Amino acid sequence: MDLQLTGKRAVVTGGSRGIGFAIADALAAEGVDVALIARHPDTLQAAATDVARHGGRALALVADTADDESVRGMVRTAAEQMGGIDILVNAAARPASAGPTPSLAGLTDDDVRIELETKLLGYLRCARAVAPYMIEQGWGRIINVSGLNARKSASLVGAVRNVAVAAMTGALAAELGPKGINVTVVHPGLTVTERTPAMIAELARARDVTEEEAEALLAATTTVGRLITAEEVADVVTFLASPRSVAVNGDAIAAGGGTPGVIHY
Number of H helices, E strands in the chain: 9, 9
CA 181, CA 241: separation in Å to the nearest integer? 10
pLDDT value at 96 more than 90 = no
171-226 pLDDT per residue, tens: 999 999 999 999 999 999 999 998 889 889 999 999 999 989 999 999 999 999 99
Q: Are 142 and 88 in contact (CB under 8 A)?
A: yes
What are φ and ψ of residue 62, in 5° steps?
-80, 130
Cβ count near 119 (within 10 Å): 28
54-63 pLDDT per residue, tens: 999 999 999 9
pLDDT at 246: 97
Cβ count near 22 (within 10 Å): 25
Cβ count near 219 (within 10 Å): 14
**Cα→Cα distances 215→147, 195, 235, 239, 254, Å:** 20, 13, 23, 29, 21
CA triple 106-111-116, angle to 5 deg: 150
CA 13, CA 89: separation in Å to the nearest integer? 6
CA 181, CA 159: separation in Å to the nearest integer? 27
Exposed, middle or buried, 130 (CB in 10 Å: 0-12/13-18/19+)? buried
CA 258, CA 218: separation in Å to the nearest integer? 12
Mean pLDDT over 122-144 rounds to 98
- For the chain, what percent of residues have pLDDT higher than 90? 79
187-201 pLDDT per residue, tens: 999 999 988 898 899
pLDDT value at 156 more than 90 = no
